[in-house]
Chain A
Amino acid sequence: EPEVTQTPSHQVTQMGQEVILRCVPISNHLYFYWYRQILGQKVEFLVSFYNNEISEKSEIFDDQFSVERPDGSNFTLKIRSTKLEDSAMYFCASSAADLLSYEQYFGPGTRLTVT
């Protein structure tokens, strides 16, 4: 069964460093999303991406964040200068361009630890 994959599973970085989190969405999906979950808190929407551009972003998604689909398979989230408060689990998701269903399929997550 097709699935969303994410790498790495765990990333430790120092404050101020840049990190890139990688996702491979399900191959025939056209909508892509990033979410984050700070430990003990609810999942929060960051950004959605369609047709090679950002469709929607939350107030969390400030200038420190960027997304890119560098090739036909990868979808990346870059944090330019990490802060302690960026420590969280980051989930990628994708959904098909099916007007009957926008069910989102989630990857296993990348746990980002900023020290």
Chain B
Amino acid sequence: KNEVEQSPQNLTAQEGEFITINCSYSVGISALHWLQQHPGGGIVSLFMLSSGKKKHGRLIATINIQEKHSSLHITASHPRDSAVYICAVSPYSGGGADGLTFGKGTHLIIQP
């Protein structure tokens, strides 16, 4: 069973700061997902990656398969980035029907 750990659990920063959230997992995976959960509860997929790096706007996600580690970066953070950021992994079976294993999430607050 994969163990997914995120750090930090809570992060408060000032607007404009560069944010880094880390995720590590214990067993090889087929893909890693970064998700965003807003106070209302809805979950939005930000990235799915299996190698290297992806960028979307101010968000950057990287993964190191050998080290079983991924990071999510937010550049020029803004109060609207305040949310819970969740790391989740797909098991290494290659099938589309695999359920995700989730980390506990990082609660990010960006103060104006």
At the interface, yes or no: B104 with Cβ under 8 Å from chain A?
yes
- Asked whether, in the complex, the Cβ of B104 is within 8 Å of the Cβ of A42, the reply is yes
Q: Are A103 and B48 neighbours in the complex by a CB distance under 8 Å?
A: yes
Does B43 contact A102, Cβ atoms closer than 8 Å? no
B43 adjacent to A56 (CB under 8 Å): no
Stretch at the interface among A44-52, A63-71, A72-80: A44-52
Contacts of A115 in B (CB 8 A): none
Q: A42-B104, A101-B48, A106-B44 are in contact. Are A50 and B99 (CB under 8 A)?
A: no
Size of the A side of the interface (Cβ < 8 Å), in residues, is 33
Is B102 a contact partner of A42 (Cβ separation < 8 A)? yes
Which of B40, B45, B100 has the most A CB atoms < 10 Å from its CB?
B100
Q: Which B residues contact A (CB, under 8 angstroms)?
A: 30-31, 33, 35, 40-45, 48, 86, 88, 90, 95-105
A102-B30, A107-B42 given; 18 more Cβ-contact pairs under 8 Å:
A37-B41, A45-B99, A45-B100, A48-B98, A50-B97, A56-B99, A95-B96, A101-B48, A102-B90, A103-B45, A103-B48, A104-B45, A106-B35, A106-B42, A106-B44, A106-B45, A108-B42, A109-B41
Please, could you name 10 A-B residue pairs with CB atoms under 8 Å apart, sorted by A?
A: A42-B102, A43-B100, A44-B102, A50-B96, A50-B97, A102-B48, A106-B45, A108-B42, A109-B42, A109-B43
